[in-house]
Chains A and B, each alone.
Chain A
Amino acid sequence: MAQLPFIIQEHQFHQLKSVIARLCVECAARVVFLVDRDGQTIAIHGDIGDMDTTSFASLAAGNVAATSSMAKLIGEDVFPSVVHEGERESIFISVIGRSLLVVVFDERSTLGLVKIRAKKASHEVAAILEAAINDSATFKVNPNSVFAEITDEDIDSLFS
């Protein structure tokens, strides 16, 4: 691998869940996602219903990746946010370093409210993720890491 794994520890995950849960309530959103820019879902809160959240996260990341490249082509560093407004449901995506805060909202909320609340939440998320990234960098020296115990038989059994 070119890079070390990105590791979220349990207390950090709960902190992130708490932030997005609060955001979901404060901006009356339907669902709030926190997604890694590679398309992995970090945390979700809200009324998921029958939404395919895995695909949604991957597409959100692809969306931001594409629009970020477009930004560079017109001389911008990045578009810090992306909005898609539908007839009933809308999506607001805020870029926070290597992650995306994705808010799905309907007529119970407004874009202005989502933007204001998301901005506050973004700072909190950024701080937690920075701590997680710093911890990830030192994680490899832990001799008790469960991954060090993985055997060839463990891996082979996945394909049996």
Chain B
Amino acid sequence: MTFINYASREINCKIVYYGPGLCGKTTNLQYIYDSTAQEAKGKLISLATETDRTLFFDFMPLELGTVRGFKTRFHLYTVPGQVYYDASRKLILKGVDGVVFVADSQEERFDANIESLYNLEENLQSQGYDLMKIPYVLQLNKRDLPNVVPLEDLVNELRRKDEPVFEAVAMNGTGVFDTLKAVAKQVLTELRKS
């Protein structure tokens, strides 16, 4: 839920990166963090296991600038992708303003993407959201790997509405900021409409 503070002239929005385990959600945030100027970001908080698998969430605040005198801040979160962390994923979606679904383009992860997307729809519904109505972007990550599913096949299977779709290689930043910009724009456009 967007939080607007008239006293401090701030708009605060929440974006959640979702997807199956090891698809690149944390890598997206890490790249955004590494590439953002110091004055525009806070710390990157990662609640992870000893093997660097996200345990609860990653969090990073990002200041995009000022619009109509209001500072726009986005809180970026990732969820843990492994199947058995579903209870945690539900919690992180609470209050979400926009969602990025990060799909793993590898052939062997095709079913995991579908399962995770179905899980996203279910968890959004349990929080009172409808995927068809909220700001949403699809990122197809790991496009640099040799065993990737063709783009059209992934889009046909994973695209849910007319959401923007971005090819990405999160490790080197390809598509990362395009994805973020697209979802942030949708969130701010929705704010204007509401």
Contacts and interface: CB of A to CB of B under 8 A. Distances in A.
Contacts of A158: 64-65, 67, 72, 184, 188
Given A13-B8, A14-B7, A150-B188, A58 B95 contact: no
Interface stretch (A2-10, A75-83, A89-97): A2-10
Contacts of A4: 1, 194
Contacts of B91: 62, 65-66, 69
Contacts of B42: 52, 54-55
Contacts of A9: 6-7
A2 B70 CA distance: 22
Interface string B80-99: 00000001101110110100
B165 to A, nearest CB: 18
A156 B88 CA distance: 34
B75 A6 contact: no
Contacts of A150: 67-68, 188, 191-192
B4 interface: yes
A139 B3 CA distance: 13
Contacts, number: 131
A149 B193 CA distance: 10
A42 interface: yes
B56 A66 contact: yes
A87 B64 CA distance: 39
A14 B7 CA distance: 8
Contacts of B172: none
A146 B56 contact: no
A23 B192 CA distance: 37
Interface size band for B: 35 or more
A109 interface: no
B1 A38 contact: yes
Interface in B87-122: 87-88, 90-92, 94-95, 97
B68 A39 contact: no
A147 B7 contact: no
A144 interface: no
B36 interface: no
A89 B97 CA distance: 34
Contacts of B6: 7-10, 13
B146 interface: no
Contacts of A36: 3, 95
Q: Which 7 A-B pairs have the closest CB atoms?
A: A38-B95, A13-B7, A5-B2, A65-B91, A2-B129, A40-B3, A10-B7
Interface of B: 1-8, 12, 14, 42-43, 45, 47, 56-57, 59, 61, 64-65, 67-70, 72, 75, 87-88, 90-92, 94-95, 97, 127-130, 133-135, 181, 184-185, 187-192, 194
Interface of A: 1-10, 13-14, 36-40, 42, 52, 54-55, 58-59, 62, 65-66, 69, 140, 146-150, 152, 154-159
